[in-house]
Structure 1
Amino acid sequence: MPELVSTDGTLVWKVENFSKLMKESKAGGKRSIYSPVFATHTFGYHLCVRLYPDGDGIGQGGHLSLFLALAKGPYDDILPWPFRQKVTFCLLDPTRKKSPIMETFLPDPHSSSFHQPRERLNVASGSPLFASHVEIPNYLKDDTLYLKVVVDLVPINLS
C-alpha cells in the first residue's frame, strides 16, 4: 500500500517540469500521470488524480484534463458505496494574482468509477475540459503547476 500524502480529503499536488510532460503527451508518449494517493480520513476512501497535460476525450489537444480515481483501500469493506462525496479541482496561481481555476462535481452513483474498487484503481472520472491550454501558462511558475483537490467530507457515515 503506498504511503498516503494526506488523510483530510485534501491533496496539493506540485507538478514539476510541466512543459516536458506536455511535450511528451503531444508527441504521443506518456499521455497521463497520477498524483500521490490521499485519503478522506485515516480510515476513509483512498483516491488519486489522473492528469492529462494534452487532454483526454473531448479535451484532447486543447485542454488539461483532470480525473479522480478511487484506489483500493484497507477500509473499503466498511465504507458506504458508491462514493458520493463532492469533489473540487483547483488550479492555483503561485503568484496569487489570479483566481484559481475551479471545477466541482458530484460523483455519478451509477458509474462504476465510484463503486468499491475491485482492482488497484477504478477507471478515473472527472473533467476532460478542466483548463484550456491558453490559460495554463498564466498558472505556471518555474515550469511547475500547482493543483489542489478537495473532497467534501460531510457526511460519511460508517455505522
Structure 2
Amino acid sequence: MPVHQNVTVLDAKLQQAFQMIQSVNNKIKVSNDKADEFLFGINLNQLILQQQLDNIKESISLTQTPSSDGTLTWKIDEVSGKIVNAQLEHQLSIYSPPFYSSLSGYKMRARLFLLGDENARRTHMSLFFVLMRGEYDAIQKWPFDHNITFCLYDLSGQHQHIINSFRPDTKSDSFQCPRLEMNTASGFSKFVPLEMIQRDDSRFVKNDTMFIKVSVDFCAMHPNLLPHIPQPMNKKEVDRQDLAAAIPIDSYPPPCKRARYVQDTERHVSEPGERIERAIDQSIVYSIRLESSAENAEGDVEESTF
C-alpha cells in the first residue's frame, strides 16, 4: 500500500480516536454537572430537613408548661448550626417559648438574632422582647410599662454575666395591647459583640449551648391586681404578712424595697457606658446598662433612643 494511503488511513483513525475522546470528555463533563447538581440538591435537602427539625423542636418546647412568674430561662442549643442558618439567611432569627407574668397575666417571649438584625448585621447579637396576644389581655393594664432585663449567662464558672435592661416606651406600638399574634419586637440591636460569642474560648457558649434569662419587673404591681396573681405569689404575700405581724413595723422593710433600691441605683448610673454590679442568681455582673426605651427589630419604623 502506498505511503500516502497509509497516512490517510492513520489520519482517519486519529480523527476517529479524537472524536471518541471528545465524546467521552463531554460525557464526563455532563456526569460531573449532574453530580454537582445532585450534591447541591442533597445539601439543600439537608438544610430544609434541619430547619423542619428545628421547627418540630420549637413546637415541642411550646407544648411544655410555660413559666408564669415573669421570668424565662431560655436554653439555646446547636448554636453553631443556628449561626450557619443565619449566615445563609435561611433563618435570621429564633423565638423563645412563650412565658407569662402569671397564670392569667401578660403573654411574652424573646426574639434572638444570632448574627444581628439589619441594624447590627454581622457585628452584634441582637435580643428583643415581644408582647404576644394572650387570653387575659382584657384585664391587663395597657400600655405595658414594666422594666425588662436580659441576662446572657457566663458559662465559664466566673459568673460574669452580661445584663442589659430597659424601660418600655409606653407610646410605642410595641407595648400596646396586641391586635395581632405578636407586637413589634423591642430591645437591643447591639446586645453583645459577635466576637464574644463566636470565639473558640467564648465564656457564653459551652457544648454548643447558651442560656439567656428574661426578667420582667412586676414587683410594683398595684395591690388591686393581687387576686390575679397565682397561688405561689399569694403565698409569699401571706408569709410576708405573717412575718410582719411578728416583727415591729418600724423594723420591717416595706414591700419591694430591694427592687426600688435596684431601680434607684440603676437610674443613678444609667449613663451610657457606665457599669454597675447587681446580683442575678448570686452572680457577679460583667456588664449592665439601663435604657429609657429600646429599639425595634428589623428596622420597624420606631424612633430609637440609643
Name the TM-score, length of structure 1 as normaliser: 0.94
* 1:8 corresponds to: 69
* 1:154 corresponds to: 219
Aligned mate of 1:141, from 206, 209, 213: 206
Do the aligned residues in 2 keep the contact of 1:85 with 1:154 (CA within 8 Å)? no
The letter of the residue matching 2:93 is S
Cα deviation for residue 98 of structure 1 reads 4.1
| Gaps in structure 2 of 5+ consecutive residues | 1-61, 226-306
Aligned-pair identity (%): 37
3-state SS, counterpart of residue 69 of structure 1: strand
Q: Distance in 2 between matches of 1:129 and 1:98?
A: 21
Q: Distance in 2 between matches of 1:5 and 1:93?
A: 24
Q: Deviations over 1:36-70 (max 9, x none)?
A: 00011111111000000000132211111000110
Matches within 5 A, 1:32-71: 32-71=93-132
Matches within 5 A, 1:112-151: 112-136=173-197, 137-151=202-216
Runs of 4+ in structure 1 over 2 Å off: 154-159
Q: Deviations over 1:115-143 (max 9, x none)?
A: 00011111111000001111113210000
The letter of the residue matching 2:205 is L
Structure in which a larger fraction of residues adopt strand? 1
Higher mean C-alpha displacement, 55-64 vs 16-25: 55-64
Q: Distance in 2 between matches of 1:98 and 1:75?
A: 37
3-state SS, counterpart of residue 139 of structure 1: coil
Q: CA RMSD in A?
A: 1.4
Larger radius of gyration: 2
* 2:158 corresponds to: 97
Q: Distance in 2 between matches of 1:43 and 1:109?
A: 22
Q: Distance in 2 between matches of 1:108 and 1:63?
A: 23
Q: Deviations over 1:60-87 (max 9, x none)?
A: 1111100011011111001010100100
Q: Distance in 2 between matches of 1:5 and 1:129?
A: 28
The letter of the residue matching 1:124 is A
Higher mean C-alpha displacement, 121-130 vs 132-141: 132-141
Do the aligned residues in 2 keep the contact of 1:80 with 1:156 (CA within 8 Å)? no
Do the aligned residues in 1 keep the contact of 2:124 with 2:190 (CA within 8 Å)? yes
3-state SS, counterpart of residue 195 of structure 2: coil
Q: Distance in 1 between matches of 2:137 and 2:184?
A: 16
Aligned mate of 2:79, from 4, 18, 27: 18
Which of the pair has the greater relative contact order for Cα pairs under 8 Å at 6+ separation?
1
Higher mean C-alpha displacement, 7-16 vs 57-66: 57-66
Q: Confirm whether residue 79 of structure 1 aligns to residue 144 of structure 2.
A: no
Q: Deviations over 1:70-109 (max 9, x none)?
A: 0111110010101001000000012321411110001110
Do the aligned residues in 1 keep the contact of 2:155 with 2:203 (CA within 8 Å)? no
Number of residue equivalences = 158
